Amino acid sequence: MLLLIATISAAMAAPVSVGAGYYGDFVSHPGGYLSASWQVAEAGSFSARVGGELGAYHHERNHTGAFARGHMGLRATGDSGLFFEPRFVLGYVHTWVDGDEYWVVDEDTLELRGKYEGGSPNLGYGMGLGFGWDPKGDDQGLTWLMRAEATGRAPYNGFALNQFALLAGVEWTPGGGR
């Protein structure tokens, strides 16, 4: 609890970085995300970051997903401004199958559900590695980044569905920083 309070306090004191970009479920099923993150600790070229993301994607004839998730990562930035950032994500994913859904209520009753009616709640999780470039190397202004994630959602057929995602976008920090 103390660690959580300390992290939140550090986050509140740090400048927020906001981001947006492409979210590709299994790389090619398109979507997008908005993010906010805070640098909560720094040691040399390393900085710890926490934050959250809202996003959605669409897999044609399979499902549409919308997510809200938190993330925690460690960014290592070189002198050139190039950085890499392993991170964990955890949150909520709601999925709707794509297309009409006929629901067998009982032996004699069949209901047609609307496209975004109901859906399925899921725990979403992931572990990713991001690469990026902070052109000024000062953690201010625009930063370009790309993340590859091993991600998944549960429950799914008695277990979980594990797969991949690709995120590519920009992050903007309005000033301050390290």
In the window 72-111, what residues touch other proteins (CB under 8 A)? 95, 97-104, 107, 110
Nearer to other proteins (CB atom), residue 30 or residue 137: 30
- With contact defined as beta carbons under 8 Å apart, do 66 and 105 qualify? no
Q: Minimum distance between the CB of residue 161 and other proteins, rounded to whole angstroms?
A: 6
Spatial separation of the C-alpha atoms in residues 130 and 127, rounded to whole Å:
10
Q: Is 158 in the site for other proteins (CB under 8 A)?
A: yes
Residue 7: which H helix or E strand, with range? helix 2-13
Among the listed residues 86, 135, 155, 174, the single contact to other proteins using CB under 8 A: 155
Is 117 a binder of other proteins (CB under 8 A)? no
163 binds other proteins (CB under 8 A): yes
| Cβ atoms 55, 66 nearer than 8 A | yes
User: In sequence order, which residues have a C-beta less than 8 Å from that of residue 118 and are 6 or more positions away?
Assistant: 96, 101
Measure the CA–CA gap between 152 and 125, rounded to whole angstroms.
6
Positive or negative torsion for Cα 67, 68, 70, 71: positive
Interface pick for other proteins out of 162, 174, 176, 178 (rule CB under 8 A): 162
**Which is closer to other proteins, CB of 44 or CB of 102?**
102
Interaction between residue 140 and other proteins (CB under 8 A)? no
Q: With CB under 8 A, what is the number of residues at the site for other proteins?
A: 29
Residue 103 or 172: the one with the smaller Cβ distance to other proteins is 103
Pattern 25-64, other proteins, x by CB under 8 A: -xxx------------------------------xxxxx-
Using rule CB under 8 A, residue 114 touches other proteins: no
Nearer to other proteins, 40 or 89 (CB): 89
The DSSP code for 93 is E
Can you spell out the DSSP letters for 9-61? HHHHHSPEEEEEEEEEETTTB-EEEEEEEEEEEEETTEEEEEEEEEEEEEETT
